[in-house]
């Protein structure tokens, strides 16, 4: 490899394709991984997340296109020559070695050889980082699943990688432990300043931990952005559906003009929608989905309480109610709109008293709350 360029992205995909026989696991990927960021690949099983990680690590080579690490093209450079480490879902620890020797394993292969006291020091340091100081002599089978995952992490960190690749590292842990480890991983990433690239199919995990999320489908990158960007400005229905909950109403564009579009919904309703400042208008007849987040739907017994610029006012029936602490989630039904969800914050409810199942309530949302999404991609 050439001299690293510190201004270049830590890792970069340029027009990368990966084929396994007839299967296309990566289609024309273009992505820069920024130095020091926490980036997640999010998408359903089989969409190519692990393949991307393995190409950064050097366990797979692209069929076409180039991979760069710090500005140097690394196609063909084997994994052990890259300053990249990977943590797997299945920890792949050595059961016959104690914790310290599991963690030291990679260091012992280093050339030129490292002195024993240097290895011991680095192992101690790595175990401290994952809060397993003092566990050096323990056996793998004496540890819980969460502790074993920490040993796997320590084994990667001990090599002081520039990029840590994490392939669904928490998938085997129960919910509570997973949440704890998410927070620990985030703290670790901030404290060490190492670039983390995480693969997950859990949207909550991706959104809560990452600086940026890369949403994938069928070997393609659909959108890359901060959790907030993806939530507020999804490029299509697929992203909006993946990132948080949303209601979708299908329709076609009827007319365009002056910062807004008129949409004819399948249910026969025509609605005015504000265009996002960044978005292009879509041609008349284009298939769209109107996306309205549950928290943007306003419920009231008195229609005067609905937003002044309400795009719509309907009377819907409350079908179900779930108390979620700060919010109450209502499942509503209207003959034209079908079933949809609304999330009422506690303070709204305090002024109205909660709506009852079977009650008819007024429902509205402001014109700007509805997003018009391409329904063809």
Query: For ligand ADP, which stretch binds (CB under 6 A), given 45-53, 145-153, 176-184, 305-313?
Result: 45-53
Is 104 one of the binding residues for ligand ADP (CB under 6 A)?
Answer: no
Interacting partner of 48 out of ligand ADP, Mg ion, none (Cβ under 5 to 8 A depending on kind):
ligand ADP
Decide: 85 and 53 in contact? Cβ < 8 Å. no
Interacting partner of 47 out of ligand ADP, Mg ion, none (Cβ under 5 to 8 A depending on kind):
ligand ADP
Is 45 one of the binding residues for ligand ADP (CB under 6 A)?
Answer: yes
Interacting partner of 178 out of ligand ADP, Mg ion, none (Cβ under 5 to 8 A depending on kind):
none
CB of 58 to ligand ADP, least distance (A): 15
Joined tokens for residue 94? 């050595």
Interacting partner of 323 out of ligand ADP, Mg ion, none (Cβ under 5 to 8 A depending on kind):
none
CB of 47 to Mg ion, least distance (A): 9
User: How many residues at the interface with ligand ADP, by CB under 6 A?
Assistant: 11
Decide: 272 and 299 in contact? Cβ < 8 Å. no
What is the DSSP-derived secondary structure letter of residue 36?
T
Distance CA 333, CA 341 (A): 9
Query: For Mg ion, which stretch binds (CB under 5 A), given 30-38, 48-56, 190-198, 229-237?
Result: 48-56
Is 191 one of the binding residues for ligand ADP (CB under 6 A)?
Answer: no
Query: For ligand ADP, which stretch binds (CB under 6 A), given 46-54, 184-192, 292-300, 352-360?
Result: 46-54
Is 50 one of the binding residues for Mg ion (CB under 5 A)?
Answer: yes
Is 47 one of the binding residues for ligand ADP (CB under 6 A)?
Answer: yes
One of 13, 16, 39, 49 touching ligand ADP (CB under 6 A)? 49
Is 46 one of the binding residues for ligand ADP (CB under 6 A)?
Answer: yes
Per residue, the 3-state secondary structure of the chain, as one string, reads CCCCCCCCCCEEEEEEEEEECCEEEEEEEEEEECCCCEEEEECCCCCCHHHHHHHHHCCCCCCEEEEEECCEECCCCCHHHCCEEEECCCCCCCCCCEHHHHHHHHHHCCCCCCCHHHHHHHHHHHHHHCCCCCCCCCEHHHCCHHHHHHHHHHHHHCCCCCEEEEECCCCCCCHHHHHHHHHHHHHHHHHHCCEEEEEECCHHHHHHHCCEEEEEECCEEEEEECHHHHHHCCCEHHHHHHCCCCEEEEEEEEEEECCEEEEEECCCCEEEEECCCCCCCCCCCCEEEEEECHHHCEEECCHHHCCCCEEEEEEEEEEEEEECCCEEEEEEEECCCEEEEEEEEHHHHHHHCCCCCCCEEEEEEEHHHCEEEECCC
CB of 49 to Mg ion, least distance (A): 5
CB of 221 to ligand ADP, least distance (A): 12
Is 286 one of the binding residues for ligand ADP (CB under 6 A)?
Answer: no
Orientation angle between helical segments 145-157 and 175-192, nearest 10 degrees: 20
Is 200 one of the binding residues for Mg ion (CB under 5 A)?
Answer: no
Is 195 one of the binding residues for Mg ion (CB under 5 A)?
Answer: no
One of 40, 50, 148, 296 touching ligand ADP (CB under 6 A)? 50
CB of 68 to ligand ADP, least distance (A): 20
Q: What residues between 4 and 33 interact with ligand ADP by CB under 6 A?
A: 20, 23, 25
Binding mask 152-181 for ligand ADP (x = CB under 6 A): ------------------------------
CB of 60 to ligand ADP, least distance (A): 8
Interacting partner of 23 out of Mg ion, ligand ADP, none (Cβ under 5 to 8 A depending on kind):
ligand ADP
Using alpha carbons, list the distances in angstroms from residue 270 to 37, 158, 266, 337. 44, 61, 9, 12
CB of 87 to ligand ADP, least distance (A): 14
Q: Residue 75: how many CB atoms within 10 A of its CB?
A: 13
Instruction: Give the residues lining the site for ligand ADP (CB under 6 A).
Output: 20, 23, 25, 43, 45-51
Which residues of the chain form contacts with Mg ion (CB under 5 A)?
A: 50
């Amino acid at each position: 490899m050439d001299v690293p360029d510190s201004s270049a992205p830590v890792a970069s995909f340029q027009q990368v394709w990966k084929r396994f026989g007839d299967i296309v696991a990566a289609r024309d990927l273009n992505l820069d991984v920024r130095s020091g960021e926490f980036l997640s690949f999010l998408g359903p099983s089989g969409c190519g997340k692990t393949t991307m990680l393995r190409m950064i690590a050097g366990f797979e080579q692209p069929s076409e296109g180039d991979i760069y690490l710090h500005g140097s093209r690394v196609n063909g450079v084997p994994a052990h020559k890259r300053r990249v480490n990977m943590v797997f879902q299945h920890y792949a620890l050595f059961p016959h070695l104690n914790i310290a020797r599991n963690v030291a394993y990679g260091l012992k292969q280093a050339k030129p050889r490292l002195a024993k006291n240097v290895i011991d020091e680095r192992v101690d340091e790595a175990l401290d980082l994952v809060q397993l100081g003092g566990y050096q002599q323990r056996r793998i089978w004496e540890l819980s699943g969460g502790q074993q995952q920490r040993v796997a992490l320590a084994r990667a960190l001990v090599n002081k990688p520039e990029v840590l690749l994490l392939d669904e590292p928490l998938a085997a842990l129960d919910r509570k432990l997973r949440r704890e480890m998410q927070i620990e991983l985030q703290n670790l990433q901030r404290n060490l300043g190492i670039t983390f690239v995480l693969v997950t199919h859990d949207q909550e995990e991706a959104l809560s931990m990452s600086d940026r999320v890369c949403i994938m489908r069928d070997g393609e990158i659909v959108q890359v952005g901060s959790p907030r960007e993806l939530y507020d400005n999804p490029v299509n229905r697929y992203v909006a559906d993946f990132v948080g909950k949303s209601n979708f109403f299908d329709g076609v564009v009827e007319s365009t003009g002056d910062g807004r579009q008129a949409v004819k919904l399948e249910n026969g309703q025509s609605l005015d929608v504000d265009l996002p400042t960044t978005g292009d208008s879509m041609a008349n007849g284009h298939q769209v989905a109107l996306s309205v987040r549950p928290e943007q739907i306003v419920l009231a017994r008195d229609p005067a309480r609905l937003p002044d610029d309400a795009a719509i006012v309907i009377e819907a029936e409350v079908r179900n109610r779930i108390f979620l602490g700060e919010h109450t989630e209502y499942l509503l039904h209207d003959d034209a709109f079908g079933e949809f969800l609304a999330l009422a914050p506690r303070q709204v409810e305090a002024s109205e008293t909660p709506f009852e199942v079977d009650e008819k309530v007024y429902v509205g949302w402001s014109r700007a709350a509805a997003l018009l999404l391409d329904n063809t991609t």
